[in-house]
């Protein structure tokens, strides 16, 4: 899964996500967390952190809103 052609395909997907994040002025990690917040089936997001600065950084996700179209576009990339 993380080797050969599959690895290359996954890198291309991440590049697409990076482009969307850049358009929104966000980090990829914030974009992914924001995507999770659009899902009704997810009640809580608990990203792992080692330092308090990471917790504060993750909170920046709350300032990022994804439209239904943007969320669908990201979902299609990883389908």
38-60 residue pLDDT tens: 999 998 888 889 999 999 999 99
DSSP summary character for residue 38? T
Query: Whole-angstrom Cα distance, residue 27 to residue 32?
Result: 9
- The pLDDT, as a whole number, for residue 2 is 67
* 74 exposure class (CB count in 10 Å sphere: 0-12, 13-18, 19+): buried
Confidence of residue 66 (pLDDT cuts 50, 70, 90): very high
What percent of the chain clears pLDDT 90, i.e. is strictly above it?
Answer: 80
Q: Where are the domains of the chain?
A: 4-77
Angle, helices 68-77/4-23, rounded to nearest 10 degrees: 160
Task: Assess whether pLDDT exceeds 60 at residue 1.
Answer: no
Task: Return left, alpha or beta for 25; rule: phi > 0 is left, psi -120 to 50 is alpha, else beta.
Answer: left
């Amino acid at each position: 899964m993380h080797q050969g052609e599959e690895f290359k395909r996954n890198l291309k997907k991440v590049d697409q996500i990076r482009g969307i994040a850049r358009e929104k002025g966000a980090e990829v990690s914030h974009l992914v967390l924001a995507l999770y917040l659009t899902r009704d089936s997810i009640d809580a997001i608990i990203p792992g952190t080692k330092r308090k600065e990471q917790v504060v950084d993750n909170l920046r996700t709350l300032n990022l809103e994804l439209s239904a179209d943007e969320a669908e576009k990201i979902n299609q990339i990883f389908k």
